[in-house]
């Protein structure tokens, strides 16, 4: 993803990076200025880090550099012990290859439209609170989902949400935010039709007619939807649901359950947990990973447990 402005932040004090362990830290801060709020809040992000005890120093980077490459090049000199990403779920997804190569824990400053990963991890959505988490919380493991070699934090899906991602242009996301999702979804919803798909998992083959199949690594997606009420991005499982409804108005009736993550209680919703899954369709269908179209069916999903470490509040037992 292009449009990332980079800053290097050196901690003036000490950050808690684990139980009873504190030492000075150096963080690489990458702010996606093309995220909905990124351009206006880049300076606010630096101020929030300073307020949390960080000394931030911005530096220029070549225009058009991807976030993953920014992570790799920015951390190449060494001496850094964390990466801080400012942006939305698309920014975080784009940074995954760089984070894997750098091998450093990362923090999140939620500057995007939906900020689903931040909400799944319990990270405050205001800058000051998120900065405090980065400065004081321990780094905890987080899983990654993977489809056809493309990693994702939150959800990958085919069907309605992938068509919505294709229809929802970045300009409307910037201009309208969550309203952009609603406006585009309303028009698409009335045109949605079930399609055939084969689900291969856990030694079985299920042939279904569906509007959408979603494979979740995290808990939240789509700026307000929930994969499953007990899903977590660190539980070592993929949560899958298939919306096997026949009329668009049934999706409207399902909306409260989709928001709570209890849609699996419906007769027309298939829900299960797994670590590997393959989706096959008669014709190629696009796959939406964290809001971006990255591949197509046939789609092979896998879980990469504890692939990265993130600064987030401790999970409740």
Over the chain (317 residues), the average pLDDT of each successive run of 10 is 52 37 63 61 81 66 83 85 90 95 95 91 95 93 98 94 66 51 56 89 97 95 89 97 86 86 92 98 94 94 98 81
d(CA 198, CA 8): 47
d(CA 92, CA 112): 10
d(CA 107, CA 55): 16
The confidence score (pLDDT) of residue 31 equals 85
Catalytic residues, by residue number, are 292
CB 86 within 8 A of CB 163: no
If we measure between CA atoms, which residue out of 56, 48, 46 comes closest to residue 25? 56
CB 158 within 8 A of CB 149: no
Q: Give me the residue label for tokens 């220029």.
A: 60
Check the CA dihedral 35-186-214-282 and report its sign.
Answer: negative
d(CA 179, CA 119): 19
């Amino acid at each position: 993803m292009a449009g990332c402005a980079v800053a290097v932040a050196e901690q003036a004090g000490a950050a808690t990076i684990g139980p009873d362990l504190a030492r000075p830290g150096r963080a690489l801060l990458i702010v996606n200025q093309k995220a909905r709020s990124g351009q206006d809040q880049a300076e606010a992000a630096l101020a929030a880090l300073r307020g949390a005890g960080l000394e931030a120093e911005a530096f220029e980077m070549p225009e058009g550099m991807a976030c993953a490459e920014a992570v790799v090049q920015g951390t190449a000199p060494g001496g850094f012990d964390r990466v801080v990403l400012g942006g939305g779920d698309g920014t975080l997804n784009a940074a995954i290859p760089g984070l894997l190569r750098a091998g450093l824990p990362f923090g999140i400053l939620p500057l995007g439209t939906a900020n689903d990963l931040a909400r799944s991890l319990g990270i405050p959505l205001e800058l000051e609170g998120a900065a405090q988490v980065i400065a004081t919380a321990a780094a905890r493991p987080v899983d990654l989902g993977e489809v056809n070699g493309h990693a994702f934090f939150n959800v990958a899906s085919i069907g309605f949400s992938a068509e919505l991602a294709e229809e929802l242009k970045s300009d409307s996301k910037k201009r309208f935010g969550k309203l952009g999702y609603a406006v585009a979804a309303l028009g698409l919803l009335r045109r949605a039709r079930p399609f055939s798909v084969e689900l291969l998992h856990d030694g079985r083959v299920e042939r279904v007619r569906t509007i959408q199949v979603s494979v979740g690594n995290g808990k939240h997606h789509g700026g307000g939807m929930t994969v499953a009420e007990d899903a977590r991005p660190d539980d070592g499982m993929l949560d899958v649901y298939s919306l096997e409804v026949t009329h668009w108005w049934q999706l409207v009736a399902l909306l409260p359950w989709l928001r709570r993550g209890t849609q699996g209680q419906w007769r027309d919703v298939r829900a299960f947990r797994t670590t590997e899954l393959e989706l096959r369709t008669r014709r190629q269908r696009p796959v939406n990973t964290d809001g971006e179209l990255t591949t197509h069916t046939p789609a092979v999903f896998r879980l990469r447990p504890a692939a990265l470490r993130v600064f987030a509040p401790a999970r409740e037992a």
